[in-house]
Amino acid sequence: MSRATGFRPSWKWAVVPLALAAAGLFSTTDAAAEDPIKICVIDDHSGDFALIVKPKTLGYETAIAEINEAGGVLGRQLEMVFYDGQSDVKRHQELAQKCILDDEVDVIMAGATSSAREAARAVAVENEVIYWHNNQGEGGIADKYSFFTGPIPEQQILTGVSYMIEKYGPKMYILAADYGFGQVSALWTHAAAGLYGGEVVGEEFIPLGNSDFAATIANIQKAKPDFGVFYLVGGAQYNYYPQAAAAGANIPAVSTVNVQQGYEHKRYPPPALVDMYIPFAFVEETPTDSARAFVEKARAINPDEPYINQMTRCAYVAIHMMALAWERAGTTETQATIAALESGLSFAAPEGPVFLDPATHHLTMDIRMGRVNENHDLEFVHDFGAIEPWWLRTLGVNLVRTDEARQFLPWDDPRLAQYKTE
């Protein structure tokens, strides 16, 4: 398997340009034109995850404004039904129920953490409502009603770990938030270490809300890894970086969440994030004309947003994908919309073209590697190209034919199970 991992797309891009996605070339077929199409958004505007999630809401707002200004979808306007999830798992579950039973929404887009995602997603699936998770995740979910716009392990962890082994050496230290996302991401890191000749010399799971890293920093210094693999999330856990810098304990590291979500390179002074590597789909600094245009468009909606992060892009893409599916289906009816989503949709995303894989409900997307330099600027050091969400397909998953209704873990794959550690 090459460092880029996965397979090059065998299909040809049939990209729907931004202008077409919002061209208003729609007909009214299933509802009165004055009835809005309702999109439930549950985002954390308070609590531990507010800093990284608020930019996601801006992505929804930008896409909805863009589409509505062009005439809407099926002759109808899009309407966002917004609730603050308050970084609370139970609240996500309750609000998802409210969106379905009281607001009668057409789709739910909710959850930053895997815990909040599963709380809201379970309600959506039980009620046969389409659900979107619009940020990076630990992957493996195969479900008929669930769709994803963020990068997953074969696009970030396998690429990132293989790159770091080649550049810095085999020894790695894992720091992961102690809940589903962090735990599964750590499993994938062990798999990546096995695939590419690496060695995990230390591993810690950090409780959510923890902000004291003195013992962890000492453990890392003792283990002497070549690089770190960090899955730290939430406002408290970001404190690792200035504490490590103050202790003179900076090491090269790769992360699938930091910088691209929490923009720590902007919030902490150098050298706290120096030599942090991020395999990403989108960051504010993405070096494409379409990315720069998207950032400008989002800032026109909210000039005060500190950073246009990967979640902003994920939310924006999800709205446009749903608009394309509703148009192609000619209705907002759920089963017809799912069939449209599984028909091979593509879209000109801010970073480049994306393709919604019918078999897995995840996106093929361009993945680039960024490095935070000594001045805390992002340098772009490698382009992995378009990477498909290939892993579930290798397990025989094809949601067009069969609803698996489960989450697969790395050890469900016999090729990866050999790298399992107790």
CATH of the domain at 77: 3.40.50.2300
Q: Is residue 376 part of a domain?
A: no
10 Å Cβ neighbour count for 91? 19
* pLDDT reported for residue 34: 77
Total domains in the fold of the chain: 2
Q: Is residue 63 part of a domain?
A: yes
User: How far is the CA of 96 from the CAs of 32, 82, 133, 246, 405, in angstroms?
Assistant: 25, 11, 13, 43, 19
* pLDDT reported for residue 285: 98
CA distance 292 to 298: 10
Q: Are residues 271 and 306 in the same domain?
A: no
SS3 of 144-205: the string is CCEEECCCCCCCCHHHHHHHHHHHHCCEEEEEEECCHHHHHHHHHHHHHHHHHCCEEEEEEE
Residue that terminates a domain, selected from 284, 304, 323: 284
Q: Are residues 407 and 300 in the same domain?
A: yes
Q: Are 114 and 370 in contact, with CB atoms under 8 Å apart?
A: no
10 Å Cβ neighbour count for 322? 27
Pure H helices in 224-374:
234-237, 240-246, 264-267, 289-301, 310-329, 334-341
User: What's the chain's Rg over C-alpha atoms?
Assistant: 21
* pLDDT reported for residue 306: 97
Residue that terminates a domain, selected from 235, 265, 284: 284
* pLDDT reported for residue 33: 58
Residue 317 structural domain:
18-151+287-365+395-411
Residues of the chain under the 50 pLDDT cut: 1-31
Helix (H) or strand (E) holding 381: strand 378-387
Q: Are residues 22 and 118 in the same domain?
A: yes
Q: Is residue 301 part of a domain?
A: yes
Side chain identity at residue 407, one-letter code: Q
* pLDDT reported for residue 27: 39
Q: Is residue 419 part of a domain?
A: no
The reply to whether the predicted model has a pTM over 0.85 is yes
Q: Are residues 261 and 186 in the same domain?
A: yes
